[in-house]
């Protein structure tokens, strides 16, 4: 697979949110405003890049039997660094993201890319994979947040939109709005792609790109 294909795969073909349905908790929880969604996406991307890089470099050093604890320790350490950087330099974002910033540690997207790609590929390819997945995750969060902020707050990136600011739908700024926005975007993607975006070539747990990381090992 070419490096361009690796990059595009994470953004579109295997978008972690809209295709694989991973990381939905932060995607729905912090997407009420575009600024929060963008910050969460970039923070997760930094963790992805760091995790994939280190695991790829040490893939032949880490014993297979203890690889999962090693991944967790590494991811937790990188998340702590990113959390301290956000707290130091973007404090309003740190307050807005709250508990969901340290919870990147248990984000299944980060663990899945480490297990499925980084441990099997060279560092540069693993970095590209992390960037593609991170951009795909960020784009998904921003798309959901755009729908919610425009309809729920009548603004975009905090900038009021004439005609909408006075006629906003408060439901979209609340928790149920996240599910509604997510469903609407999935419906649009499915319509445009004629359902191909949400289908795998084979059905069942074993065909899922994350089956090796979920603990079931392909068993249904």
In this predicted model, what pLDDT tens digit does every residue of 20-32 receive, in sequence order? 888 898 888 898 8
CB atoms closer than 10 angstroms to residue 182: 22
The answer to whether the CB of 94 falls within 8 A of the CB of 76 is: no
Report the predicted TM-score, pTM, of the whole model to 2 decimal places. Answer: 0.84
Q: Is the pLDDT of residue 218 over 90?
A: no
The pLDDT of residue 72: 92
Domain map (residue ranges) of the chain: 3-214
What 3-state class would DSSP assign to 159? strand
Task: Report residue 202's pLDDT band, with 50, 70 and 90 as the boundaries.
Answer: very low
DSSP single-letter state for residue 220: -
Give residue 1's pLDDT: 73
pLDDT category at 148 given cuts 50, 70, 90 is very high
Handedness of CA 148, 151, 156, 160 (dihedral sign): negative
The tens digit of pLDDT for each residue in 89-141 reads: 999 999 999 899 999 998 999 999 999 999 999 999 999 999 999 999 999 99
Q: How many CA atoms lie within 13 A of 1 on its CB side?
A: 15
When pLDDT is averaged across residues 67-75 and rounded to a whole number, the result is 92
**pLDDT score of 153:** 87
* Total residue length of the chain: 220
**Chain mean pLDDT for the chain:** 86
In this predicted structure, which of 13-17, 50-54, 99-103, 154-158 has the lowest mean pLDDT? 154-158
Of 110, 109, 68, 208, nearest in space to 220 by CA = 208
More confident residue, 205 or 117: 117
């Amino acid at each position: 697979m070419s490096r361009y294909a690796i990059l595009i795969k994470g953004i579109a073909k295997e978008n972690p949110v809209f295709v694989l349905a991973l990381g939905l908790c932060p995607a729905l929880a912090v997407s009420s405003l575009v600024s929060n969604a963008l910050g969460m996406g970039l923070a997760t991307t930094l963790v992805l890049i760091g995790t994939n890089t280190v695991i790829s470099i040490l893939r032949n050093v880490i014993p297979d039997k203890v690889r999962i604890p090693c991944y967790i320790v590494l991811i937790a350490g990188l998340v702590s660094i990113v959390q301290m950087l956000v707290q130091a330099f973007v404090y309003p974002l740190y307050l807005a993201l709250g508990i969901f910033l340290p919870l990147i540690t248990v984000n299944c997207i980060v663990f899945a890319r480490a297990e499925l790609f980084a441990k099997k590929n060279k560092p540069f390819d693993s970095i590209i994979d992390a960037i593609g997945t991170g951009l795909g995750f960020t784009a998904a969060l921003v798309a959901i947040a755009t729908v919610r902020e425009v309809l729920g707050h009548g603004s975009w990136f905090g900038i009021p939109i004439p005609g909408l600011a006075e006629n906003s739908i408060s439901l979209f700024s609340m928790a149920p709005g996240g599910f509604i926005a997510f469903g609407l975007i999935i419906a649009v993607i499915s319509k445009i792609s004629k359902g191909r975006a949400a289908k795998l070539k084979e059905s069942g747990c074993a065909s899922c790109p994350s089956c090796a990381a979920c603990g079931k090992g392909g068993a249904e």
